[in-house]
Each structure stands twice: as structure tokens, then as C-alpha cells.
Amino acid sequence: MRPERDPLGQPLPDAVGPQRLVVLGSSGSIGTQTLDVAAWQGHEVVGLVGGRRADELVAQAHRWRPAAVSCAAEVADAVRPRLPAGTRLLVGEAGAAEVAAMEADVVVAAIPGFRGLAPTRAALRAGRHVALANKEAMVCAGALVWAEAQAHGARLTPVDSEHAGLYQTLLGEPLEGVAALVLTASGGPFRTGPANLAAVTPEQALAHPTWRMGPKVTIDSATLFNKGLEVLEAAFLFRMPLERIEVVVHPQSLVHALVRFHDGSVKAQLGPHDMRLPIQYALHAPERPPVPLAPLPLEGTWTFERPDTGRFPALAAAYAAGHKGGDAPLRLNAADEVAVEAFLTGRLRFTGIADVLADALAHATARTPGWDDLDALDAEARALAGEAVRRAGARGPA
Ligand code: MG
């Protein structure tokens, strides 16, 4: 029998058929894979928010014939004349927010980073079911996001594979029986070497062993900061204290999450490392329509090990930010966005990322920001992180 409520306390839908989708971040990794799922399951796409990839957005508009698309102002002239008849073009942040609030069944919030928060909020305020891939929304404004969802009758389902795994594992379980949530981490490309991480290049860090993802999240996987963000995301999403959220390194990336229960039992969610599966589940939960993919092979060696927070201090920094509370998670996220960009453009060593995070934690305060404070705090944290990057750069090469 289907439970009445999901693990986030929200009512479950009676039946889920083909839906009208809005995809925020349609030309990114999650966005393009969402459109694969839309093709599998016969969903309609009514709105697309792209960024600066004009050719990709135009091709998506011709394939899906949405009522509206939105793009960055600097590519609007390249997009406008090439759109199909009947597709309206909106521009910039206001355009993204307008598409996010369009009449639709599900909004897939897949614009990465802090800048994904505003259009995610617009979808929540319109009362939509939001399939949340923008983990930074939960990290930077978890309580605000929940309050907005409840005020407007919006529903949230997680797209992040670990959180989708937890959601599936918890479904139908009384939450008072839950002892701990366990997120798996691949360990990234530097799990076993090299010994000196100060000298690794962006090319090495971008070569993720299992998952196919955008550059920011791939670097975050190499530092384990992505897992740190996911710990904070899980704490806010499932309203679980940090003491009850664990991380285990599982290089094969086939077990996505586990739940420890008070009776000593552990339940896990497994699946191929293909983001289209958690995306589809976020759209269809609790239903499981078939997919055109090979079944998960069970042969082979699956290993689990403790994360090395000495080698990967960014994970510990995220826990520290969660324990500090207040504006610490938002500041840490902003600092990481600045630090990763600096690393990718050759201005910061790989190990300098953790130094910039430590600097952000030192500036954190106990004051929990409201919606009106978020942009100014994010800007301040970015400016401080920029200074920390310059100081680290001034110290010279490793
Ligand atoms: Mg993940």
C-alpha cells in the first residue's frame, strides 16, 4: 500500500502520468539528462531556462517547442531570430524567474550554484512541485526554502542521487526508527593518489572516475566539498541533526545512500551511476516507470571506507559550517564557488581551496539570514574569498 506521506512529510500524489515540465538550467548536465527522461516518459516541456549556450538552447527549443525560453542577456540576439514560431524569449534573471513560475506540473531546478536559488524560489512561490537539483538552495537557505514551500503549497523532491536514494530508502519508514542517514561518496579522482595534492592540475581534477557532471561539481567531488554540501543539504532537507549524518567512501558509486535504523538494520538504495534515474524518480515518485537501460550488474567487488578528512579538509569544513549554523553554510558555499573558479583558471592551487574555505568559516556569524539578506551576504563572502585567493596566490607555487 502506498504511504500517505513521503519522508519529507509531504502528501504523495495519487497517480503520476506524463507531466508539463519547466527545466531551469536546460543546457547543463542535469538539464540535458532531464530532457532524456522527458523523451523516455512522454513528458511535455513548456519552459526552458538556458544560460549562455545559444546553439544548445535553440536546438532544445526546436525539439520540444516550449511556450517560453529564457537565456542570458548577452546571447539573446543570437537566440531570438532562431526560435521556432510560438516560443517566446525572455531574458536575464527576471526572465528566468518568469519561466520558473509558468503554469507547469514540475519545475526541475538545475541551475547550479547560489544563482540557482532565485529561480528556485520563484517556482516555490508559484506553488509548483520542484525537483531540486540546486543543492545550494538547501545549503544557503534551507529553512527559508521550506517555509516558502509550505506557504505556497509547493512540493519538493530531491534530484541529487544520494538524497534521492535516502528518500527512496525512507519511504514508508517511521522516522522515529531512523538512527542515521549515510551518504556515499565516490572519493573522486584523488582518493588513492597522488600524495601531494598541491600540484594537481584542473585537467586531473576534472577526470572523475564514475560520474558525468558539470565542472564545478566535478572539482567539488575531487575535494570532497561536494559531499560536504550534500551533508548540509541532507540536514536541511530531511531536518536531521548533523550528528546523525554520515559519509562513507564507496568508489564504485553503485550504492547511493544507506539508512541506519535503531534496530541495527541498515537499508540501502542501489542503482547504476546514471543521473537520469534519480531525475526520473524525482519527477515520478513514488512510481517507477521502466527505463531503457541495462539492469545493474551485481557481480564485482563493492568496497566501503572511511573518508580521509586530513587529506580532504573541505568535507570537515562543511560539517564545521553546519555546526556553526547562522550564515556559515552560505559563506562557505560562496567561498567555494570563488575558489573553484580560481583553481580552474590557474589562480589557486588545489589545496588552496580548503584555505579559502577556512577563511570563510572564520568570518561566519551566528545570524541566520532572511531572504532579503542573502544577496548581500553572498556578495560579501565572495569578496572576502577573492581576497583569500589573492593572498594564497601571493604565497607562490607549492
Ligand atoms: Mg550527489
Please provide the DSSP assignment of 118-186 as one string.
HHHHHHHHTT-EEEE--HHHHHHHHHHHHHHHHHHT-EEEE-SHHHHHHHHHHTTS-GGGEEEEEEEE-
- The answer on 92 and 40 residing in a single domain is yes
Phi, psi of 257 (to 5 degrees): -165, 155
Ligand 1 centroid–CA 81 distance in Å is 37
How open is the CA angle 350-307-31, to the nearest 5 degrees? 65
How far apart CA 268 and CA 390 sit, in angstroms, is 44
How far apart CA 139 and CA 327 sit, in angstroms, is 10
- Residue 150, C-beta contacts closer than 8 angstroms, at least 6 positions apart: none
Ligand 1 centroid–CA 227 distance in Å is 7
363, part of any domain: yes
Ligand 1 centroid–CA 305 distance in Å is 18
Ligand 1 centroid–CA 276 distance in Å is 13
- The answer on 208 and 143 residing in a single domain is no
125-166 pLDDT per residue, tens: 999 999 999 999 999 999 999 999 999 999 999 999 999 999
- The answer on 132 and 35 residing in a single domain is yes
When pLDDT is cut at 50, 70 and 90, the band that residue 396 belongs to is low
Ligand 1 centroid–CA 12 distance in Å is 23
3-state class (DSSP) for residue 200: coil
Ligand 1 centroid–CA 160 distance in Å is 5
Ramachandran assignment for 239, one of left (phi > 0), alpha (psi -120 to 50 degrees), beta (any other):
left
When pLDDT is cut at 50, 70 and 90, the band that residue 239 belongs to is very high
Ligand 1 centroid–CA 394 distance in Å is 34
Note down the domain range covering 347.
325-392
166, part of any domain: no
Ligand 1 centroid–CA 33 distance in Å is 15
Ligand 1 centroid–CA 256 distance in Å is 8
pLDDT, mean of residues 242-263: 97
188-207 pLDDT per residue, tens: 999 998 999 999 999 999 98
- The answer on 374 and 342 residing in a single domain is yes
Ligand 1 centroid–CA 318 distance in Å is 15
Ligand 1 centroid–CA 230 distance in Å is 7
Who wins on pLDDT, 394 or 355?
355
- The answer on 354 and 303 residing in a single domain is no
- The answer on 307 and 176 residing in a single domain is yes
Ligand 1 centroid–CA 148 distance in Å is 24
**Does residue 211 register a pLDDT over 90?**
no
CB neighbours (10 Å) of residue 183?
23
In which order are the strands placed within the sheet that holds 129-132? 88-91, 68-71, 44-49, 20-24, 106-109, 129-132, 155-158
161-189 pLDDT per residue, tens: 999 999 999 999 999 999 999 999 999 99
Q: Which among 252, 284, 312 is the end of a domain?
A: 312
| Half-sphere exposure in the Cβ direction for 371 (13 Å, CA) | 11
Ligand 1 centroid–CA 275 distance in Å is 9
How far apart CA 135 and CA 281 sit, in angstroms, is 17
Scan for cell 542570458, then name that residue.
72
Ligand 1 centroid–CA 162 distance in Å is 5
10, part of any domain: no
Ligand 1 centroid–CA 395 distance in Å is 33
- The answer on 105 and 144 residing in a single domain is yes
Ramachandran assignment for 17, one of left (phi > 0), alpha (psi -120 to 50 degrees), beta (any other):
beta
**Nearest in space to 75 (alpha carbons), one of 135, 5, 27:** 27
Ligand 1 centroid–CA 237 distance in Å is 14
Q: Count Cβ neighbours within 10 Å for each residue of 149-167 and write b for 16 or more, e otherwise.
A: beeeebbbbbbbbbbbbbb
Ligand 1 centroid–CA 397 distance in Å is 32
3-state class (DSSP) for residue 95: helix
Ligand 1 centroid–CA 278 distance in Å is 10
Give alpha helix (H) positions in 182-267. Answer: 202-205, 215-223, 225-237
- The answer on 348 and 305 residing in a single domain is no
Considering the chain, what is the average pLDDT of its residues?
A: 96
**Nearest in space to 330 (alpha carbons), one of 165, 117, 120, 179:** 117
Q: For the range 285-294, what are the long-range contacts, defined as Cβ-Cβ under 8 Å and sequence gap of 24 or more?
A: 285/6, 285/12, 285/16, 285/157, 285/167, 285/168, 285/171, 286/2, 286/3, 286/6, 286/12, 286/171, 287/15, 287/16, 289/40, 289/41, 291/40, 292/40
- The answer on 25 and 129 residing in a single domain is yes
Residue type, 342: A
Residue 182: beta bridge partners?
A: 246, 258
- The answer on 307 and 198 residing in a single domain is yes
When pLDDT is cut at 50, 70 and 90, the band that residue 212 belongs to is confident
- The answer on 186 and 56 residing in a single domain is no
- The verdict on pTM exceeding 0.85 is yes
Residue type, 248: V
pLDDT, mean of residues 263-282: 97
14-59 pLDDT per residue, tens: 888 899 999 999 999 999 999 999 999 999 999 999 999 999 999 9
Ligand 1 centroid–CA 321 distance in Å is 19
pLDDT, mean of residues 78-91: 97
Q: Which among 158, 193, 221 is the end of a domain?
A: 158
**Does residue 284 register a pLDDT over 90?**
yes
Residue 195 gets which letter from DSSP?
Answer: S
Ligand 1 centroid–CA 67 distance in Å is 31
Q: How many domains does the chain have?
A: 3
212, part of any domain: yes
Residue 20 gets which letter from DSSP?
Answer: E
13, part of any domain: no
Ligand 1 centroid–CA 161 distance in Å is 5
pLDDT, mean of residues 241-253: 97
CATH number at residue 343: 1.10.1740.10
When pLDDT is cut at 50, 70 and 90, the band that residue 118 belongs to is very high
383, part of any domain: yes
Ligand 1 centroid–CA 188 distance in Å is 12
When pLDDT is cut at 50, 70 and 90, the band that residue 395 belongs to is low
- The answer on 121 and 42 residing in a single domain is yes
280, part of any domain: no
Phi, psi of 89 (to 5 degrees): -105, 130
294-335 pLDDT per residue, tens: 999 999 999 999 999 999 999 999 999 999 999 999 999 999
Ligand 1 centroid–CA 380 distance in Å is 27
Give alpha helix (H) positions in the chain. Answer: 29-41, 54-64, 76-79, 92-100, 117-125, 135-152, 161-170, 202-205, 215-223, 225-237, 276-284, 313-324, 328-344, 352-362, 374-394
The whole-number pLDDT of residue 397 equals 54
In which order are the strands placed within the sheet that holds 255-261? 245-249, 178-185, 255-261, 266-270
Ligand 1 centroid–CA 90 distance in Å is 31
Task: Sort 201 into a burial class: Cβ within 10 Å, 0-12 / 13-18 / 19+.
Answer: exposed
14, part of any domain: no
pLDDT, mean of residues 238-265: 97
Q: Which among 106, 130, 158 is the end of a domain?
A: 158
Ligand 1 centroid–CA 205 distance in Å is 17
